[in-house]
Amino acid sequence: MVVLRKRPMERVLKSLHDFKQVLFTRLGILNGAYAYKGPRRVELHLTNKCNHNCIVCWVRSPYLKETDEEYQKQELPYGIVIKLIGELRRIGICSIHISGGGEPLMHPKFWDILSYIKEQRIECRLNTNFSLLNEEDIKRLVSLKLDGLTVSLWAASPESYMGTHLNVPKDTFPKIERGLKLLSDLKKLKGQKIPIVDIYNVICNVNYKEIDEMVEFAKSCCADNCLFALADVIKGQTDIFSLSPSQEGYVIEKIKYWIKEDFNYDIDDRNFVKVTSYLHQLLWNKKRSQSDNTESPCYTGWMFSLVEASGNVSFCCKSTREPVGNIREDNFSKIWNSERQRKFRKSAISGNVSFKHFSSATCRKGCDNIEDNIWAHRILVGLGHSKRAVLSLLEKVCRYFLLYSLKNK
């Protein structure tokens, strides 16, 4: 089988793109507030509509005392999404992660949006429950060269799947299993490594005994990674599914069996089994979290942005209660370097917890942007005194031209 390799010109263009990403990210961080390029990654919530009622879902769990019906209906209009993607392309986006408060495939223009993202040569990853995809859809994912696919599964058998996903048809889990194996076969047939497939399992007291089976299931479907997270429950509502101390200990020992103790969020890590930042703290008894934005520099303001189905734009995944703007009202570029966004960057990188964002964000429990933060930290740590001096001078030049252009608008 012949595996297609990148042409020399494509490799040159990618190297140039990567160089610009690193350079302008460094310049922005050295500025301390302004961003000279767009975010490295944007999480895009197309819709809050969903076909499932997962038991610990923050939005649709049947065990919630109240549900926000208006929130569940929210959906980004196609025209606004296309405009946003074009704008992100112009300001130097690296990757778009389609996720959301619902199932992305329920957006009526999902396939048009995905096709447009790939036409713009932007890396794209999709988070889905995978239950709505048929054989033709799976073939389409491969032909479009989707870069990454996270399948939210929470189970290793039809019985446990129905225990964590209420009111789903009995054949849902077998259908997902067949689809994942078909996806693997199609990738092999075309000689593709993408989409990279992650099986994502949220652990609660209903499925905690299936850790081994979940890993083996992911392997049987030829997934690239098997991810674990603990259920983030709501007190007095979904906390009936919380793990007891003994159950939590069982989970920790099981996962320790599968991963090495020196696992540290390395973005080049080869471990098949991975965990979220909070579970990582429990595994290795970390007293301080790398992701604790209130005690260590946070570069997220230059690296990431979250766009919700309502149009709200947030600093990070933990700060949705304090949006910085709304793309239904303003251009993303304007929001990205707004006064509020710049204040967040300045406060986060200096560890200033007085900024309002930190009062509502749950940084201490674990950061969803840890890989972005580590990438930014790495490109700064390696700078010697002379390189930092040169970049600081270049940043001052960029700042001068920026102020000049703003003054003459």
pLDDT tens digits, one per residue of 262-313: 444 443 445 787 777 667 666 655 443 444 444 557 888 888 999 999 999 9
* Encoded tokens for 311: 């149009």
Beta bridge partners of 149: 126, 197
Of 3-12, 42-51, 313-322, which range is least confident? 3-12
Reported confidence tier of residue 348, pLDDT bands at 50, 70, 90 = confident
Three-class SS state of 203? strand
**Left (φ > 0), alpha (ψ -120 to 50) or beta: where does 265 sit?**
left
Residue type at 409? K
Q: Determine the residue type at 4.
A: L
Q: Which residues pair with 42 in a beta bridge?
A: 96, 305
| Lowest pLDDT segment from 63-67, 75-79, 375-379 | 375-379
- For residue range 156-171, what is the model confidence (pLDDT) as tens digits? 999 999 999 988 899 9
With beta carbons less than 8 A apart as the criterion, state whether 46 and 104 touch: yes
Higher per-residue confidence, 389 vs 373? 373
- Cα-Cα-Cα-Cα torsion 217, 223, 228, 229, nearest 10 degrees, comes to -120
DSSP string for residues in 213-256:
HHHHHHHHTT-SEEEEEE----TTTGGGGPPPHHHHHHHHHHHH
Tally of CB atoms within 10 A around 276: 21
Local structure of 288: helix, strand or coil? coil
Q: What is the crossing angle of helices 211-220 and 245-258, to 10°?
A: 40
Average pLDDT of the chain, as a whole number = 81
**Lowest mean pLDDT: which of 196-200, 262-266, 385-389?**
262-266
Q: What is the mean pLDDT of residues 395-409?
A: 53
- Nearest Cα residue to 200 out of 153, 155, 131, 270: 153
Mean per-residue pLDDT, 20-30? 74
pTM comes to 0.84
Name beta bridge partners: 44: 98, 307
pLDDT at residue 81 is higher than 80: yes
- As a whole number, mean pLDDT of residues 62-85 equals 90
pLDDT at 209 (0 to 100): 93
Q: How confident is the model at residue 353 (pLDDT cuts 50, 70, 90)?
A: low
DSSP annotation of 44:
E
98-126 confidence digits (pLDDT tens): 998 899 999 999 999 999 999 999 999 99
